[in-house]
A and B are shown apart, each in its own frame.
Chain A
Amino acid sequence: MALTGIDIFKLLPKTNCQECGVPTCLAFAMKLAAGQAELSSCPHLSDDAKAALGEASAPPIRLVTMGSGDDAFKAGGELVMFRHDKTFFNPCGYALLIDDTSGASEIDGKLKQVNESHFVRVEQDLKADMVAVKCSSGKPETFVEIIEKVKAATSLPLILMSDNPEVIHAGMAVNGEAPLIYGANKDNYEKMADLAKTHKTALAVISDNGIDGLNDLVPKIEALGVKDLVLDPGYRNPKETLQSLVYMRRGALVKKIKAFGYPTIAFPVEETSDEMMETLLAGLYTCKYGSIIVVGNLKPQYALPLYVLRQNIYTDPQRPMQVKQGIYPIGTPNENSPVLVTTNFSLTYFIVTGEVEGSRVPAWMLIQDVEGLSVMTAWAAGKFVPEKIAPFIKGSGIEEKVKHRKLVIPGYLSQMSGELDDELEGWKVEVGPREAADLPAFLKAWSA
């Protein structure tokens, strides 16, 4: 996006017709340069200008959509090397591999994993994103049969895997959706590109020698008019895969190498035969620049930690994960159970409720919305202070749930206990321990 506002202005009609919603062509150019406007807002652009500007304003890593509707999966669109530089935008996707030579019970087991490994954590849905069907049989009819079986069990987008265009052709005929074709190599790319264009699907580009091969092959496929690509450097060992993924991300973002400006695909399933190691390698590519990660198992004991890692890595550092404001019963509290207040920062919430649960003392947790800040950060920001806490407690409905009127506050806020006591009529404020780790001992000794 090297063009300045002036560069862009030179390519505009300069009629100041205002149809773009901006008073002048120059102002529109400035907005475009700043990324605050869409090229398509100007209806009067010449084709030449469109091509030149479209290219210049294209994101450095293309956002590629696979599948449709609620289950569509978007890959790519990243803008930074490190999450602290801004954020990672589009969470990587996990695809479960199903081989068309596997027995029926194995395939059923995998489809069950896809559907059952589905969790809700911090109000986010954690689940698989795609299913990869691989034609190892070499037979189009077997491939088609398995695709049909998979489609009957799940609506997730598919990755159709074969290096034989005939097989992919057969698979596309039954698929109907817009999945990913895997894929094009240096021998078959013309036919694969044709298929991708006909069916309007994304196409994976498979290198036989890392990023050099991609640098060679990608422009050829682009020249055939396929726009949605996914890149596989082709190695099947984590060391070289990591190297390629780092080089591709850096190549696209920092060195502006256009051939690398696409999402990536990695195959832990083909890098190890151990399911534990496979999960860890999927974790590696979650941290380091994998967009689609193909695994051979998503049993819940593996899927849950993997999905939580993705949730962590893709959290916006500027917008912390939050939980909803409200009363959270821990265990089965009654009218004599302790009442504790804290903030809705998901980390604080998890740590504190974890300790309260661990204590086995049933309790009422009051979680106040402070826009996801920790206790002290929220206090310093003026969001978790007596004038805000008191009305929250009063309005929370807790007074109907307990007979006593004792409120436990975080130990770090001891200095405001007097003031809160005054604000919160009818209640007595008790200062809890500073560290949540000391809550079990505190709660065991607590009485109404």
Chain B
Amino acid sequence: MEVKETYNGTIREVTLGVGDKAVVVGGETALSFYTFEGVMPRKPVIAFDVYDEEPADWPAPVVEPYKDVLGDPVKWALKCQNEYGADMICLQLVSTNPTGTNRGAEEAAQTVKAVADAIDIPMIVYGTANVEKDTEVLAKAAEAAQGKNVLMGPIEEDNYKTIAAAALGFQQAGATHSPIDVNMAKQLNILATQLGLNADRIIIDPTTGALGYGLEYVYSVMERLRLAALTQNDSMTQMPIINTIGKEVWKAKEVKVSTEEEPAWGDAETRGIIWEAMTAIALLMAGSDILVMRHPKAVELTRDFMALMA
């Protein structure tokens, strides 16, 4: 009775960070958690969201754990590292958003440096997906984090030349971001590698949709990327995948609404935790290698889940 699948491709291994706490992601030779027909050499890693300014719109359940550190990215990052055992930090430079505080690139770069110097776990640095502003901000950030081997993004089709070049120049890794589309993801990786960014320095950001808000699209695009990588040995789809889960989940209506506003939906905090962890589990099964998350309990559950599956 032969029911095993054979695969002929392997997901690339990408190293992020430096020193003892550096992490390696990728290396799968089968669909994620299909350890009965291939190798998953390591568990996916979880990065904690850290904002470079006090977030204005986080709902209560995710404000509560961080309320003592919210205005201070360094303390915030340290709390995630020391208290919650984060594998990585994802520093989101939200303050640079032109429709928000519109902080300058220099100032953002200082925050990047301060956080990078304070922690010893690897770091992800994300802009606001504003195509023009990110070119400035991420170029400075790449410089400020020199020697730290951070993952920076999002690199988009409209700004890959500057951002991928900055990653290349300062020896950082890059996250290529495309709008839930297999061919566009592939195309952007081709462009970035043609520019000189090594394929082993790229992580795919396929755009994340939360549970109930487009999860099915990203789920299927990730499955298709993985099948292309593993069964067709398509080298431009073989990069590990990152999903920015926290950011998407904690703006969903079903997560924001309090217990009092909607008693029929049950306890709001538990509902939010499950919403985040459930999004994580679905995307883990679809091939995620780096999960960017928020609620410590959702992270703990996701880790417990991975332990059960290992």
Contact A304 B265 (CB under 8 A): yes
Interface size class of A (residues with CB under 8 A): 35 or more
In the complex, residue of chain B having the shortest beta-carbon distance to the beta carbon of A84: B220
Contact B216 A312 (CB under 8 A): yes
Instruction: Mark interface residues in A308-329 (1 if CB within 8 Å of B CB, else 0).
Output: 1101110101000000000000
Partner of A301, one of B57, B251, B271: B271
A-to-B contact residues, CB < 8 Å = 82-84, 116, 119, 121, 211-212, 215, 237-239, 242-243, 246-247, 250-251, 255, 257, 272, 276-277, 279-281, 283-284, 287-288, 299-306, 308-309, 311-313, 315, 317, 347, 350-351, 354, 357-358, 433, 438, 441
Contact B99 A438 (CB under 8 A): yes
Contact B266 A317 (CB under 8 A): no
Per the bound structure, the CA–CA distance linking A124 and B94 in Å amounts to 36
Stretch at the interface among B106-114, B163-171, B206-214: B206-214
Chain A nearest Cβ from B59, distance in angstroms:
10
Contact B211 A309 (CB under 8 A): yes
Chain B nearest Cβ from A272, distance in angstroms:
8
Partner of B305, one of A84, A255, A277: A277
Other than the given A82-B227, A211-B1, A300-B264, 17 more pairs (CB < 8 A) read A238-B308, A243-B34, A246-B36, A251-B3, A276-B270, A279-B274, A281-B308, A283-B281, A288-B285, A299-B266, A301-B265, A304-B254, A305-B271, A305-B278, A312-B216, A347-B214, A354-B213
Contact A280 B214 (CB under 8 A): no
Q: Which residues of B contact A242 (CB under 8 A)?
A: 33-34, 309
Chain A nearest Cβ from B135, distance in angstroms:
18
Contact A354 B282 (CB under 8 A): no
Per the bound structure, the CA–CA distance linking A237 and B305 in Å amounts to 11
Per the bound structure, the CA–CA distance linking A357 and B29 in Å amounts to 44
Query: Is the CB of B186 closer than 8 A to any CB of chain A?
Result: no
Within 8 A of A (CB), among B201-248: 209, 211-217, 219-220, 223-224, 227
Contact A255 B2 (CB under 8 A): yes
Contact A82 B220 (CB under 8 A): yes
Query: Is the CB of B138 closer than 8 A to any CB of chain A?
Result: no
Per the bound structure, the CA–CA distance linking A360 and B289 in Å amounts to 37
Chain A nearest Cβ from B190, distance in angstroms:
22
Q: Which residues of B contact A255 (CB under 8 A)?
A: 1-3
With known contacts A237-B308, A251-B1, A280-B281, A83–B216 Cβ distance under 8 A: yes
Partner of B274, one of A121, A215, A276: A276
| Interface residues of A, dominant DSSP | helix
Q: Which residues of A contact B160 (CB under 8 A)?
A: none
Per the bound structure, the CA–CA distance linking A116 and B270 in Å amounts to 17
Per the bound structure, the CA–CA distance linking A245 and B278 in Å amounts to 19
In the complex, residue of chain A having the shortest beta-carbon distance to the beta carbon of B4: A247
Partner of B278, one of A211, A237, A283: A283
Query: Is the CB of B22 closer than 8 A to any CB of chain A?
Result: no
Contact A317 B265 (CB under 8 A): no
Contact B265 A300 (CB under 8 A): yes
Contact B223 A312 (CB under 8 A): no
Q: Which residues of A contact B268 (CB under 8 A)?
A: 301
Per the bound structure, the CA–CA distance linking A143 and B232 in Å amounts to 54
Per the bound structure, the CA–CA distance linking A238 and B310 in Å amounts to 10
Per the bound structure, the CA–CA distance linking A106 and B166 in Å amounts to 61
Contact A276 B301 (CB under 8 A): yes
Per the bound structure, the CA–CA distance linking A266 and B304 in Å amounts to 19
Contact A301 B267 (CB under 8 A): yes
Query: Is the CB of B63 closer than 8 A to any CB of chain A?
Result: no
Per the bound structure, the CA–CA distance linking A75 and B253 in Å amounts to 31
Query: Is the CB of B185 closer than 8 A to any CB of chain A?
Result: no
Contact A315 B301 (CB under 8 A): no
Chain B nearest Cβ from A438, distance in angstroms:
5
In the complex, residue of chain B having the shortest beta-carbon distance to the beta carbon of A237: B308
Instruction: Mark interface residues in B180-207 (1 if CB within 8 Å of A CB, else 0).
Output: 0000000000000000000000000000
Q: Which residues of B contact A277 (CB under 8 A)?
A: 301, 304-305, 308
Partner of B212, one of A84, A251, A350, A357: A350
With known contacts A284-B281, A300-B265, A308–B211 Cβ distance under 8 A: yes
Per the bound structure, the CA–CA distance linking A255 and B215 in Å amounts to 30
Q: Which residues of B contact A243 (CB under 8 A)?
A: 34, 36
In the complex, residue of chain A having the shortest beta-carbon distance to the beta carbon of B304: A277
Q: Which residues of B contact A116 (CB under 8 A)?
A: 264
Q: Which residues of B contact A312 (CB under 8 A)?
A: 211-212, 215-216, 219, 282
Q: Which residues of B contact A246 (CB under 8 A)?
A: 34, 36
In the complex, residue of chain A having the shortest beta-carbon distance to the beta carbon of B275: A305
Chain B nearest Cβ from A79, distance in angstroms:
16
Chain A nearest Cβ from B243, distance in angstroms:
15
In the complex, residue of chain A having the shortest beta-carbon distance to the beta carbon of B212: A308
With known contacts A212-B1, A308-B254, A441–B265 Cβ distance under 8 A: no
Per the bound structure, the CA–CA distance linking A150 and B36 in Å amounts to 40
In the A-B complex, the 10 residue pairs with the closest CB atoms: A301-B266, A300-B266, A301-B271, A312-B216, A84-B220, A247-B3, A301-B270, A243-B36, A308-B212, A251-B3
Partner of A313, one of B219, B253, B277, B301: B219
Chain B nearest Cβ from A210, distance in angstroms:
11
